Amino acid sequence: MRIATDAYIYGYPLVTMDMTRKRLTNVAVADDAHAPEGQMLKLRTYPSVDNHAVTAPNADTLYTMAWFDVTREPWILSVPDMGDRYFLLPLLSGWTDVFQVPGKRTTGGKAAKYAITGPGWSGKLPDGVTEYKSPTGMVWLLGRIYCTGTPEDYKAVHALQDKFELVPLSSYGKSYMPPPGEVDSNLDMKTAVRDQVDDMSVEEYFTYLARLMKDNPPAAADAPMVENMAKIGIVPGKDFDPSVLRSLDQELIKAVPKVAQAKIIEHLKEAGKPVNGWMFTTNAGTYGTDYIQRALVTAIGLGANRPQDAVYPTGEKDSKGDKFDADGHNYVMHIDKGQMPPVNGFWSLTMYDSTYFFVPNSLNRYTVSSRDKFVTNPDGSVDIYIQAQSPGGSKVANWLPAPKGKFVPMLRLYWPKDTPPSIIDGTWKPPAISPTS
């Protein structure tokens, strides 16, 4: 039972990634939310206020993403000259680790070409192409490009997005027309991926996991886990052998998925740092052998960045220790002079309802951020007003509209500073949000 539960937790990211891949690529031609495997999906706007397809949407960046398979040959990613614009292009393995992240922080803004190669590939690459070796056959490019959201800036970012190219090595330098995607009409496109994964029987799950591990091998550091999994019939490179599981207590084995899922969510209590009512972690993007942390981030924030690229404090309680509720309560987030979130990229504070979606409001304002011009207090500090009703007058400039009820505020710090004050080393802490009425 213990080995099976550990194996379930270990494999949860890989199974979830593949289910997500299938869901997002199950179209013949790209639309505004999907693109066939090997083709780039270029989102042109922030998610609309009534778009509930993705939880915790952001109103800071436009996604430019793609799923591709490097098992048979490398793929070449061409990035245009991005100038001074902030962007990052994290490349995730099938196990959800960010194995490379070209972008403003790491490679600058000049045009570049990258070859993403598979774990077993060796060969010659074209001149001027930088090799990034993926540890798995499955790769997810989850790029983000900063955008202010104005019509003019949308246009500027669209022009950059249209210059991105992704082609297989065999077609590099040639005229390339991607083939239409293969559509699986039996794939459930409505039920949430997490629910579909959670509903698998233990035998279905391990069969799926073993198949995926053929092209997405474990890391060398996973050797102890691999040795244990072999005891229940899961061997990398081979189909799952269910005979061992079938010889065990079937009631216990049936319970493995629910027990493992409960352990993953239970880990939430230990995974983050509670600071001034905010919860966040600086352990994301790369996990080593911390399998429970990797599974938790998969469950609640698939595609998370390395902390050097982004940290996401989520507000849980106000300064008095109470849950946020703007039905009859107003709040303020007071930021002392010189204590704005310390970033090299940008920061934002986004408002969500209790289900992590944007909140409709009269200003169509879903976030306040480093691009806003705040009204300051005489001592140079800033008060951000978080409430359902307008605070009126000059305070409107500092108003983040909330729903009349429970809400969730979320900070985003992109490219946080790594020298004090820094959220990464704890020398900067998100200010508490205090009730004023």
Find the Cα–Cα–Cα–Cα dihedral 93, 99, 101, 106, rounded to 10°: 180
Contacts of 132 (CB under 8 A, 6+ apart): 91, 99, 100, 102, 114, 115, 116, 117
Mean confidence (pLDDT) of the chain: 94
CA distance 307 to 272: 13
- Cβ atoms of 276 and 318 within 8 Å: the answer is no
Is pLDDT of 54 > 70?
no
What pLDDT shows up at residue 170?
A: 96
Residue labelled with tokens 């690529």 = 25
Indicate left, alpha or beta for 173 from its phi (over 0: left) and psi (-120 to 50: alpha).
left
- 54-68, 114-128, 242-256, range with greatest mean pLDDT: 114-128
Percentage with pLDDT > 70 across the chain: 100
Is pLDDT of 214 > 70?
yes
Residue labelled with tokens 């996990």 = 287
Residue labelled with tokens 């605070």 = 391
| Confidence class for position 274, pLDDT limits 50, 70, 90 | confident
- State how far the alpha carbon of 287 is from the alpha carbons of 91, 122, 148, 233, 294, in Å: 15, 26, 32, 25, 6
**3-state per-residue secondary structure call for the chain:** CHHHHHHHHHHHHHHHHHHHHHHHHCCCCCCCCCCCCCCCEECCCCCCCCCCCCCCCCCCEEEEEEEEECCCCCEEEEECCCCCCCEECCEEECCCCEEECCECCCCCCCCEEEEEECCCCCCCCCCCCEEEECCCCEEEEEEEEECCCCHHHHHHHHHHHCCCEEEEHHHCCCCCCCCCCCCCCCCCCCCCHHHHHHCCCHHHHHHHHHHHCCCCCCCHHHHHHHHHHHCCCCCCCCCCCCHHHHCCCHHHHHCHHHHHHHHHHHCHHHHCEEECCEEECCCCCCCCCCHHHHHHHHHHHCCCCCCCCEECCEECCCCCCCCCECCCCCEEEEECCCCCCCEEEEEEEEEEECCCCCCCCCCCCCEEECCCCCCECCCCCEEEEEECCCCCHHHHHHEEECCCCEEEEEEEEEEECCCCCCCCCCCCCCCCEEECC
Percentage with pLDDT > 90 across the chain: 87
Is pLDDT of 52 > 80?
no
Domain coordinates of the chain in residue numbers? 2-11+187-266, 27-171, 275-435
Query: What are the pLDDT digits (tens) for 2-11?
Result: 999 999 999 9
How many CA atoms, within 13 angstroms, populate the side-chain half-sphere of residue 41? 26
Contacts of 128 (CB under 8 A, 6+ apart): 113
Is pLDDT of 251 > 90?
no
What pLDDT shows up at residue 53?
A: 64
| Confidence class for position 237, pLDDT limits 50, 70, 90 | very high
Predicted model pTM: 0.92
Contacts of 109 (CB under 8 A, 6+ apart): 81, 82, 83, 84, 85, 87
275-435, CATH topology level: Jelly Rolls (2.60.120)
Is pLDDT of 360 > 80?
yes
Is pLDDT of 273 > 90?
no
What pLDDT shows up at residue 238?
A: 94
What pLDDT shows up at residue 113?
A: 98
- State how far the alpha carbon of 312 is from the alpha carbons of 9, 84, 241, 331, 430, in Å: 23, 24, 41, 20, 11
Structural Rg of the chain based on CA atoms:
23
27-171, CATH topology level: Immunoglobulin-like (2.60.40)
Largest Cα separation within the chain, whole Å, is 74
Is pLDDT of 128 > 70?
yes
CA distance 116 to 177: 19
| Confidence class for position 33, pLDDT limits 50, 70, 90 | confident
Same fold, 27-171 and 275-435: no
How many CB atoms are closer than 10 A to CB 159? 10
Output the CA torsion sign for 371, 32, 189, 207.
Answer: negative
Query: What are the pLDDT digits (tens) for 369-409?
Result: 999 999 999 999 999 999 999 999 999 999 999 999 999 99
Is pLDDT of 278 > 90?
yes
Mean pLDDT on 311-338: 96
Is pLDDT of 51 > 80?
no
How many CB atoms are closer than 10 A to CB 323? 13
Mean pLDDT on 275-280: 95
Query: What are the pLDDT digits (tens) for 73-112?
Result: 999 999 999 999 999 999 999 999 999 999 999 999 999 9
CA distance 20 to 302: 9
Find the Cα–Cα–Cα–Cα dihedral 391, 384, 105, 275, rounded to 10°: -140
